[in-house]
Chains A and B, each alone.
Chain A
């Protein structure tokens, strides 16, 4: 069975500073990887995903994540954060051909401060 580890439960950062949210996964087979964002009292929104091809994937609002198979990681980065990025971020994995069952990490609360 696959699993996801998000070691940082909270990440405080000042506005316009860079940030990295860490995600490591465990699986014996090929995987697809996702980052979802959850704003207060809202459902999860897909931020970006890795299915195949280029290992670097980007979102429309400046986030990027790089799939590193050797390190089994899919860390999320943004070079300059904004107050509006304050939210909870979840990393998730599904095995290829596994019926699209997502396994989520425990989430990282990103708090952007002025």
Chain B
């Protein structure tokens, strides 16, 4: 069984630019999560999808972050415009029905 795929693995941008991350969950997993992991901290949930509907986006900075999960499979997370404090690793995870979460390798974003 293939794991959670994410791309790109690394991204460097200037502040105020926009960036997008892609995630492909494990086949058959209905629940998808995006986490932000700032250096020295544990991952923090940004948004949770159940199929293509949003379950929890209470910690998503909606003025600059957006996410979608079209057709209930792949998902993209976008930041526009980026700030220095957005430098972090963005982790995608999926679970079958809200049980054990399986994580992808993450995208390391550096904002200069």
Contact = CB atoms under 8 A, between A and B. Distances in A.
Interface of A: 4, 36, 41-46, 49, 90, 92, 99-107
Interface of B: 4, 6, 31, 40-45, 48, 55-56, 91, 93, 95, 98-106
| Residue picked from B40, B56, B101, B102, most chain A C-beta under 10 Å | B101
A42 B6 CA distance: 11
B42 A100 contact: no
Contacts of B4: 43
A45 B103 contact: yes
B105 A41 contact: yes
Given A99-B55, A100-B31, A44 B91 contact: yes
Contact of A99 (B42, B48, B103, B105): B48
A45 to B, nearest CB: 7
B109 to A, nearest CB: 14
Contacts of A36: 103
Contact of B95 (A44, A49, A100, A103): A100
B54 to A, nearest CB: 12
Contacts of A46: 100-102
B1 to A, nearest CB: 14
Given A99-B48, A99-B55, A99-B56, A42 B42 contact: no
B48 to A, nearest CB: 7
B84 to A, nearest CB: 21
